[in-house]
């Protein structure tokens, strides 16, 4: 949880700097969904689950997208919504301090590895 909380401020700032001006927001067309690891993580930290998948039907806009952005708390968003950086965000990030870029990229990679480990440990425990 600490690793996520470290990168959330950077992601929030990056979204504020890019998403509101994006001509083609990924939330309008991305086929993102909460996967097993997302639900396992939320269960283990007792954060509660989102009230449903992001899309009611294939091709729908994300049901949690509002005029102010995502209505889900960051911790409840599917991992893909956290790690995915569009071209506009990657470009904006290139102009940020190296320390912020490194914190974000190292954080994302570390979290990715820990999510895999979490699933492996859980599956070994229940099989």
Q: Which among 119, 24, 15 has a CA at the least distance from the CA of 77?
A: 15
Q: Sort 54 into a burial class: Cβ within 10 Å, 0-12 / 13-18 / 19+.
A: buried
Specify the pLDDT at position 29.
81
Chain segment 3-47, per-residue pLDDT in tens: 899 999 999 999 999 988 888 888 888 888 999 999 999 999 999
Give backbone dihedrals phi and psi of 69, rounded to 5 degrees, phi first.
105, -155
pLDDT value of residue 19: 87
Q: How does pLDDT run across 87-115, given as a tens digit for each residue?
A: 999 999 999 999 999 999 999 999 999 99
Q: Is the pTM of this model over 0.75?
A: yes
């Amino acid at each position: 949880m600490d690793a996520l909380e470290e990168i959330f401020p950077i992601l929030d700032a990056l979204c504020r700097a890019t998403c509101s001006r994006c001509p083609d927001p990924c939330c309008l067309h991305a086929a993102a969904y909460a996967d097993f690891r997302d639900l396992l993580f939320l269960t283990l930290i007792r954060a509660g689950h989102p009230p449903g998948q992001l899309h009611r039907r294939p091709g729908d806009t994300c049901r949690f997208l509002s005029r102010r952005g995502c209505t889900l708390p960051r911790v409840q968003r599917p991992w893909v919504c956290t790690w995915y950086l569009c071209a506009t965000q990657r470009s904006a990030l290139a102009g940020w301090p190296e320390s912020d870029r490194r914190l974000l990229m190292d954080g994302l990679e570390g979290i990715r590895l820990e999510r895999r480990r979490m699933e492996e440990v859980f599956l070994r425990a229940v099989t």
